[in-house]
Structure 1
Amino acid sequence: MARIVALDYGKVRTGVAVTDELQLIASGLTTVQTKDLISFLIDYVGTESVERFVVGLPKQMDNTPSESEGLIQAFLQKLTAQFPDIPVERQDERFTSKMAFQSMLDSGMKKKKRQDKGLVDEISATLILQAYLNRN
């Protein structure tokens, strides 16, 4: 089997999480500057077998798309053009940032480390991927 890569896409930074090759466990991989994301993924796919991408789907509480969905749609066009053979799925990402921050608190992480927004994005990507795995 191949890995699944999840992305918590943001205007500035994107959190990246991956599964193990058996697709049982979601783990945070890194946070990448969004402007460098496609080149990062090219390098990653060049060294790892990737079955699919899962991209967070930001929604409002009333189930309408959030304002960042426009940016994500533009990115999805670039992603599918670059990797036409790797399917892309979406996963609801409501509350993942709050859950990520709460998990940092619950783990006893020091305040300075909790202020690392990149780490929050990476944990959010992991939560998106775990929710995707649970759903499937």
Structure 2
Amino acid sequence: MARLLAIDYGLKRTGIAVTDELQIIASGLTTVATSELIPFLKDYTTKEKVELFLIGEPKQMDNTPSESEAFISPFIKKLEKLFPDIEIKRVDERFTSKMAFKTMIDSGLNKKQRKNKALIDEISATLILQSYLYSK
């Protein structure tokens, strides 16, 4: 089997999480500068087999798309062209940043560590991936 890869897309940084080959365990992989995201994904997919990209879908409380969707849609179109053999699905990402921050507190990270926005993005991507795995 191939891995599932979740992307918590942001204007500056993007959190990335992956499953194991059996698609059982979701783990944070890294956070990359969004400007380096496509080269990172090209490199990663040459080394590891990926069958699905899960992209966080930011929504408002009334279920309408958030403002950041305007930046995510062009990214998805680019992904579709560059990786035509990898399916793309969207996953509601409401509250993932808050849940990531709570996870950091629950795991005992100190205040300075909790200010690490890159870690929050990576944990958010992991939560997106876990949410998808639970729904399957």
TM normalised by structure 1 equals 0.99
Report the Cα offset of residue 96 of structure 1: 0.1
Matched residue SS, 1:80: helix
User: How far, CA to CA, are the matches of 1:40 and 1:82 in structure 2?
Assistant: 13
Map of 1:15 onto structure 2? 15
Map of 1:113 onto structure 2? 113
Matched residue SS, 1:45: helix
Report the Cα offset of residue 66 of structure 1: 0.2
Percent of residue pairs identical? 65
Q: How does 1:1-136 map to 2 (within 5 A)?
A: 1-136=1-136
Deviations 1:91-131 (Å, cap 9, x if unpaired)? 00000000000010111101111110000000000000000
Matched residue SS, 2:28: strand
User: How far, CA to CA, are the matches of 1:85 and 1:51 in structure 2?
Assistant: 8
Aligned length: 136
User: How far, CA to CA, are the matches of 1:53 and 1:124 in structure 2?
Assistant: 15
Matched residue SS, 2:11: coil
Deviations 1:24-73 (Å, cap 9, x if unpaired)? 01000000000100000000000000011000000000000000001000
Query: What are structure 2's unaligned runs of at least 5 residues?
Result: none
| Corresponding letter in the other structure for 2:40 | F
Report the Cα offset of residue 133 of structure 1: 0.6
Larger mean Cα displacement after TM superposition, 101-110 or 119-128:
101-110
User: How far, CA to CA, are the matches of 1:57 and 1:24 in structure 2?
Assistant: 22
Matched residue SS, 2:109: coil
Query: What are structure 1's unaligned runs of at least 5 residues?
Result: none
Matched residue SS, 1:109: coil
User: How far, CA to CA, are the matches of 1:87 and 1:70 in structure 2?
Assistant: 21
Matched residue SS, 2:59: coil
Matched residue SS, 1:105: helix
